């Protein structure tokens, strides 16, 4: 009788889906399911593999929909033996658990855009001085006060926060919310408190020796990792969704995601990336960890291991630097474990051919090795690894611990973003990212796929931000961006001076030029991507940002002036990167990553090399003629 009921239930589900999509399913072969237009598969490859291996199992998935999920889709899920786990206010997606055997049928529906696995997420002392944050405190004005992050909300999406620690003064943790299902917002694992303190810990402990970057910022505790430091993509999306909804209530201008999951899908389909894009479009600077997969088990360099959502172009993806515990930056290097680009998310076309994103990531690096910050009371990390205890105090509310990783580097950048926004609150997320990249210090001996634009320079970033005009809505592309001439493009920290990199990353290239900061650029608007756009000279289109085809990577790795190359190393997923710049089975590397200097950057949709554009940026969904144009949702292309 029980088997009969099961058969009837399955038949009812099949009939309902048949009526919904108008297609008769002729079997359960797991094959790529195309969009209605037959252009591309609608199921991620790892999901297809899981279904093939366990067709009778239950699977947790994320269904993306073209618009608000329909009642018909929800009914189909229910009748298929599935149930709803998550529904979002700002993201057109559903977290679902249902039988593997019906996923392919759901994917064929017109009200389903893409389906992927609900992938697991995991977490991947002298920081105030070595980053230049201490010097930046002095760049305040009468209206801003001391530059310490005051009034700016930083959302920490992590394992919770031990808010009773005196580095937070309790009152600065202004909101606590849990999306793990455990019904708690403290930090049993110990990761989130450490992250929050790097971004915004105050100077209460040890006479300020462990002060964070933005010690007066508001902290919003969004718990998406459980007591074991584990989570799900659907939990993370729920946390992002909540931040968008509550942005105004807590002035959330910055989000920190010091966790990640394996990058499988292209950022165009990855549900976590799409949620990050929603937050970006809502005006939130999103800082994410690159990952800690920069070397293999033999200690050899690995390229192409950037985690999701670090593969998302709108995010500020942060790698880790090793400062060796010194304030001087002369000995700083990229940490060996820090994940390197290019991004290797991909989509498959209707012929099964994979198209890799191959974007330059990370965007920059920041100190991340053996950082001392808040130790949550009785946390699991220290219990399992007693050597992490920094033994700073015998009091729980003063105790500190060591941690390393891109998880630690990311909140340093999040704190820097808060300082930039305190100094100049009108800046768009794109301008914040551009300022951080332009002022970064290129580390000699490391290519752009390892360090992005270079090492975080808070002093330079806050100083430059203070020179940017606050009437951006009145500016047309090409008009002066600064209130004065270009600043001196050097910074001195711990008695040693260094030059800024003076450039920004454009998907596959690193471009330089003083006009990037002296003139309003179309790509600095809200609702477009900093990485998009074309180079203009006298109104003539020189390049459209697309280099040959999807299989072709960036330059030969000489994306910085120090002449470094990629050297040898393994490229994850596909092919091996050889010292001569050849990428086996996946295209070749082009020469010369620096296109032009002193350029105007615009965004347009045409790929014609003869198009002439004068003084404006053309979007797929409207014109962006100022540095502050608002677009409700940027096209992902």
Of 223, 134, 222, 219, residue with least CA distance to 168: 219
pLDDT at 521: 87
Compute the average pLDDT of residues 312-337: 92
Q: pLDDT higher for 363 or 528?
A: 363
For residues 282 and 242, give the distance between their C-alpha atoms in angstroms, rounded to a whole number: 12
Residue 152 has pLDDT above 90, yes or no: yes
Residue 350 has what DSSP assignment? T
**Residue reference for tokens 């990952």:** 291
Tell me if 128 is assigned to some domain. Answer: yes
Flag whether pLDDT at 237 surpasses 90. yes
Identify the CA nearest to 365 among candidates 310, 327, 285: 310
Comparing 39-43, 415-419, 530-534, 565-569, the range with the smallest average pLDDT is 565-569
Same domain as 377, residue 265: yes
Mean pLDDT, the chain, whole residue set: 80
b (16+ CB within 10 A) / e for 203-228: bbbeeeebbbbbbbbbbbbbbbbbbe
pLDDT at 287 over 80: yes
**One domain, residues 73 and 89:** yes
Dig out the tokens for 133 from the structure.
């944050």
pLDDT higher than threshold 70 for residue 283? yes
- Evaluate if residue 614 carries a pLDDT over 60: no
pLDDT over 50 at 129, yes or no: yes
Asked if the structure places residue 460 within a domain, the reply is: yes
| Maximal CA-CA distance, the chain | 82
Mapped onto helix, strand or coil, the DSSP state of residue 56 is coil
User: What's the confidence (pLDDT) of residue 40?
Assistant: 61
Q: Helix 429-438 and helix 406-423: axis angle, to 10°?
A: 110
- Indicate if 327 and 457 belong to the same structural domain: yes
48-64 pLDDT, tens digit per residue, is 989 998 888 999 999 99
Give residue 76's domain range: 2-118
Tell me the two tokens of residue 4: 């009969």
Choosing from 99, 118, 137, the residue where a domain stops is: 118
pLDDT computed for residue 601 by the predictor: 60
Q: Residue 528's pLDDT band (boundaries 50, 70, 90)? A: confident
Does the structure show a pLDDT above 60 at 166?
A: yes
Same domain, yes or no: 104 and 13 = yes
The domain that holds 87 is classified in CATH as 3.30.70.80
Q: In this predicted model, what pLDDT tens digit does every residue of 599-611 receive, in sequence order?
A: 456 654 323 222 2
Determine phi and psi for 98, rounding to 5 degrees. Answer: -160, 170
Kindly report, residue by residue over 354-373, the tens digit of the pLDDT: 889 999 999 999 999 889 99
Note whether residue 609 is domain-resident. no
Residue of 439, 443, 446 whose CA lies nearest to 416: 439
Looking at residues 274-301, what average pLDDT do you find? 93
Domain assignment present for residue 191? The answer is: yes
Closest CA to 363 of 380, 383, 386, 338: 338
Lowest mean pLDDT among 278-292, 403-417, 587-601: 587-601
460-497 tens-digit pLDDT = 999 999 999 999 888 888 889 999 999 999 999 988 99
pLDDT at 275: 96
Could you tell me if residue 304 is inside a domain?
yes
Q: What is the DSSP secondary-structure string of 265-306?
A: B-TTT-HHHHHHHHHHHTT-EEEEE--S-SB-TTS-BEES-P
* pTM reported for the whole predicted model: 0.81
Show the 3-state SS of 503-571. Answer: EEEECCEEEECCHHHHECCHHHCCCCCCCCCEEEECCEEEECCCCCCCCCECCCCCCCCCCCCCCCEEE
Q: Model confidence at 593, in pLDDT bands (50, 70, 90)?
A: very low
pLDDT score at 570: 60
> Residue 533's pLDDT is what?
63
Q: Which residues are catalytic?
A: 158, 191, 407
Length of the chain: 637
Q: Are residues 38 and 77 in the same domain?
A: yes
Q: Is the same domain home to 302 and 219?
A: yes
pLDDT of res. 508? 79
* Spatial CA neighbour of 30 closest among 53, 14, 57: 53
What CA–CA distance (Å, rounded) separates 162 from 398?
11
68 and 153 together in one domain: no
Q: How confident is the model at residue 534 (pLDDT cuts 50, 70, 90)?
A: low
Bigger pLDDT: 53 or 559? 53
- pLDDT (mean) for 150-154: 97
Tell me the average pLDDT across 519-534. 80
Distance, in Å, from the CA atom of 131 to the CA atom of 145, rounded to the nearest integer, reads: 20
268, pLDDT greater than 80: yes
For residues 268 and 209, membership in a common domain is answered with: yes
What is the domain count for the chain? 2
User: What is the rounded CA–CA span in Å between residue 321 and residue 364?
Assistant: 10
Residue 542: count of CB within 10 angstroms of its CB: 13
pLDDT of residue 544: 35
Does residue 38 sit in the same domain as residue 150?
Answer: no
Residue 554 pLDDT greater than 80, yes or no: no
Please spell the DSSP secondary structure of 360-394, one letter per residue: ---SEEEE-SSEEEE--TT-HHHHH-GGGB----S
**Alpha carbon distance 60, 42 (integer Å):** 16
Cα angle: 404, vertex 405, 410; to 5 degrees: 115
Q: How many CA atoms lie within 13 A of 566 on its CB side?
A: 29
Tokens encoding 353: 């051919």
DSSP 259: -
- Phi and psi at residue 58, to the nearest 5°: -90, 140
Cα dihedral value 485, 460, 332, 400, nearest 10: 180
158 lies in the same domain as 273: yes
Q: What is the mean pLDDT of residues 543-567?
A: 36
Long-range contact pairs involving 137-142 (C-beta distance under 8 Å, separation at least 24): 139/423, 139/462, 139/463, 139/466, 140/423, 141/423, 141/466
Q: Report the CATH number that the domain containing residue 288 is assigned in CATH.
A: 3.40.50.200
Q: Which two tokens stand for residue 36?
A: 């209605």
Closest to 355 in 3D by CA, of 569, 603, 633, 637? 637
**Gyration radius of the chain over CA positions:** 24
For residue 364, the number of C-alpha atoms closer than 13 Å in the C-beta half-sphere is 37
Distances (CA, A) of 514 to 30, 258, 481: 53, 32, 11
539 part of a folded domain:
no
The answer to whether residue 262 scores a pLDDT higher than 90 is no
| CA separation for the pair 623, 532 (Å, rounded) | 14
Residues 130 and 104 in one domain: no
Under 8 Å between Cβ of 153 and 262: no
| DSSP 8-state assignment for residue 488 | P
Among 31-45, 70-84, 148-162, 481-495, the least confident range: 31-45
* pLDDT score of 571: 61
Rounded-to-5 percentages of helix, strand, coil across the chain: 25, 25, 50
Write down the residue that tokens 């990792």 correspond to: 225
Contacts of residue 329, defined as CB under 8 A and 6 or more positions apart, other chains included, come to 130, 323, 441, 455, 493, 494, 496, 498
Structural domain includes residue 610: no
* Per-residue pLDDT, 203: 87
Residue 589 belongs to some domain of the structure: no
Mean pLDDT computed over 380-393: 89
Residues 273 and 354 in one domain: yes
pLDDT value, residue 12? 52
Question: 117-128 pLDDT, tens per residue?
Answer: 998 875 554 688
More confident residue, 533 or 397: 397
Last residue of one domain, picked from the residues 118, 141, 174: 118
The residue ranking higher by pLDDT, 586 or 612, is: 586
The pLDDT assigned to 394 comes to 83
pLDDT confidence bin for 244, thresholds 50/70/90: very high
Q: How far apart are CA 498 and CA 233, in angstroms?
A: 40
Q: Give the model confidence (pLDDT) of 5-54 as tens digits.
A: 554 455 455 444 443 433 333 333 333 333 333 446 799 988 998 999 88
- Residues ≥6 apart with Cβ < 8 Å to 12: 79
Look at 202 and 595; give whichever has higher pLDDT. 202
Q: What is the mean pLDDT of residues 184-203?
A: 95
């Amino acid at each position: 009788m029980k088997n009969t009921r099961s058969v009837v239930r399955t038949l009812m589900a099949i009939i309902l889906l048949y009526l919904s999509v108008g297609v008769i399913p002729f079997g359960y072969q797991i094959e790529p399911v195309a969009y209605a237009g037959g252009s591309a598969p609608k199921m991620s490859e790892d999901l297809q593999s899981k279904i093939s291996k366990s067709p009778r199992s239950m699977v947790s998935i994320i269904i993306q929909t073209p618009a608000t999920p329909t009642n018909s889709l929800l009914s189909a899920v229910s009748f298929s033996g599935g149930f709803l786990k998550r529904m979002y206010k700002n993201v057109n997606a559903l977290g679902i658990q249902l039988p593997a055997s019906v996923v392919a049928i759901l994917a064929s529906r017109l009200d389903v855009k893409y389906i992927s696995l609900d992938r697991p997420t995991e977490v991947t002392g002298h920081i105030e001085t070595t980053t230049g944050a201490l010097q930046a405190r002095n760049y305040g004005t009468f209206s801003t006060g001391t530059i310490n992050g005051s009034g700016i909300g930083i959302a920490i999406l992590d394992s919770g926060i031990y808010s009773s620690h005196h580095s937070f003064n309790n009152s600065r943790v202004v909101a606590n919310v849990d999306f793990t299902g455990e019904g708690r917002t403290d930090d049993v694992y110990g990761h989130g408190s450490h992250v929050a303190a790097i971004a915004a810990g105050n100077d209460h402990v040890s006479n300020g020796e462990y002060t964070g970057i933005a010690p007066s910022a508001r902290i919003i505790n969004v718990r998406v990792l459980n007591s074991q430091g584990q989570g799900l993509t659907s939990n993370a999306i729920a946390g992002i969704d909540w931040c968008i909804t509550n942005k105004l209530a807590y002035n959330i201008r910055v989000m920190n995601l010091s966790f990640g999951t394996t990058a499988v899908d292209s950022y165009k389909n990855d549900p976590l990336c799409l949620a990050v894009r929603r937050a970006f479009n809502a005006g939130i600077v999103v800082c994410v960890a690159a990952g800690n997969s920069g070397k293999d088990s033999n200690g050899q360099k690995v390229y192409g291991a950037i985690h999701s959502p670090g593969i998302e172009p709108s995010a500020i993806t942060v790698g880790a630097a090793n400062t060796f515990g010194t304030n001087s930056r002369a000995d700083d290097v990229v940490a060996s474990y820090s994940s390197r680009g290019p991004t290797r998310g991909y989509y498959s076309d209707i012929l099964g051919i994979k198209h890799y994103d191959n974007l330059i990531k990370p965007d920059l690096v920041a100190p991340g090795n053996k950082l001392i910050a808040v130790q949550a009371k009785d946390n699991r990390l220290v219990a399992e690894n007693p050597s992490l205890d920094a033994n700073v105090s015998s009091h729980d509310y003063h105790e500190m611990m060591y941690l390393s990783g891109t998880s630690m580097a990311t909140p340093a950048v999040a704190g820097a973003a808060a300082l930039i926004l305190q100094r100049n609150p009108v800046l768009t997320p794109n301008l914040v990212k551009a300022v951080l990249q332009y002022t970064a210090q290129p580390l000699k001996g490391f290519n752009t796929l390892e360090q992005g634009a270079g090492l975080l320079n808070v002093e330079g970033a806050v100083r430059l931000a203070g020179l940017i005009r606050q009437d951006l809505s009145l500016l047309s592309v090409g008009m002066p961006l600064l209130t004065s001439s270009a600043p001196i493009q050097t910074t001195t920290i711990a008695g040693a001076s260094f030059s800024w990199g003076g450039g920004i990353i454009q998907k596959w290239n690193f471009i330089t030029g003083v006009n990037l900061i002296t003139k309003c650029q179309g790509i600095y608007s809200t609702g477009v991507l900093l990485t998009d756009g074309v180079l203009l000279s006298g109104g003539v289109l020189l390049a459209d940002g697309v280099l040959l085809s999807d299989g072709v990577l960036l330059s030969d790795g000489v994306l910085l002036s120090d002449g470094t190359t990629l050297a040898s190393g393994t490229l994850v997923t596909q092919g091996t990167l050889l010292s001569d710049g050849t990428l086996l089975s996946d295209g070749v590397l082009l020469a010369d990553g620096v296109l032009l200097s002193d350029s105007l950057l615009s965004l347009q949709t045409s790929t014609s090399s003869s198009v002439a554009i004068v003084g404006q940026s053309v979007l797929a969904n409207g014109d962006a003629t100022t540095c502050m144009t608002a677009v409700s949702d940027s096209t992902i292309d």
